[in-house]
Amino acid sequence: MVLDIWDGSQTTHTYTERDAALYALGVGACGRDALDKYELKYVYHEDGQQSIQVLPTFGVLFAVGFLSHLSHVPGLQYDPRLVLHGQQYIEIYKPFPSSGKAAILEVEIISYEKESSEPICLNRITVYLRGAGGFSKSSHPYSYSKNSASQNLAAKIPNRQPFAALLYRLSGDYNPLHSDPKVAEIAGFSRPIQHGLCTMGFAVRAIIKCICRGDPNMIKNISGRFLLHVYPGETLIMEMWLEGLRVVYQVKVKERNKAVLSGVIDLTHLTSSL
């Protein structure tokens, strides 16, 4: 992939049904039940693989290449081994086709379907560059609105996959922080950590299953703040609160009793059973 997001030039991201299915497995789809009625459609369809549905968080993969081009920012100096993903926002404009191409245009990355030029999704990414400098003190990062205090608990779902990072990296995020023990040690971790976007994928998948009754097209936009690292194999406790058309969520690590991810998801509508 050739990408220069700093001068506005375009690049094309091509994916197939296999990529969409591999991503779904990487964020735990059918992890408990290979015949799960809500999740089998992400990896198999009786009318053929071209008819599978695509998880809305699949769109984050269109923006993965941006991190490798941070060094193009004038005046920015940092150690790429110390980059941590801080926040992620994705807005869904239309359901993802099971295969296709998407053009990436800018740092606030908008992805378009190649054939129709229709926008598919928007990614807004915040990263932490530990030890970096060169920006004005007047610069302020994008921040998300505060969560409402009136929250009603919807569900808790534990997830565990010791190989989660190794499987997720096959979707295109090959940062060695998630696979190489030496790189992880340099970054200050006892062992490789799980991709933050993998954890987010687990969270959104759980919300689609529990709140949306398996309908991924109910997702309008997703925001998340990565609070702490996750080690592959740890148990994730998923908490959700439904407030009108907004789902407030938090992910905790059971073994350390720490929150690792929090955010909100806006829905297009509610199911009749809610």
Which of the following is catalytic: 65, 100, 125, 173?
A: 173
**For 149-152, which contacts have Cβ atoms below 8 Å and span 24 or more sequence positions?**
150/243, 151/241, 151/243, 151/248, 152/241, 152/242, 152/243
Q: Does the active-site annotation cover 172?
A: no
Q: Does the active-site annotation cover 193?
A: yes
Residue 91, CB-side half-sphere exposure with 13 Å CA sphere: 8
The two most distant CA atoms of the chain are separated, in Å, by: 56
245 with 269: CB under 8 angstroms? yes
Q: Measure the CA–CA gap between 49 and 98, rounded to whole angstroms.
A: 8
Which of the following is catalytic: 196, 201, 224, 263?
A: 196
Rg of the chain over CA atoms, in angstroms? 18
Q: 263, 265, 267, 248: which is closest to 86 by C-alpha?
A: 263
Q: Measure the CA–CA gap between 187 and 176, rounded to whole angstroms.
A: 11
Which of the following is catalytic: 13, 85, 178, 229?
A: 178
Q: Does the active-site annotation cover 178?
A: yes
Which of the following is catalytic: 193, 208, 222, 265?
A: 193
Q: Which residues are catalytic?
A: 173, 178, 193, 196
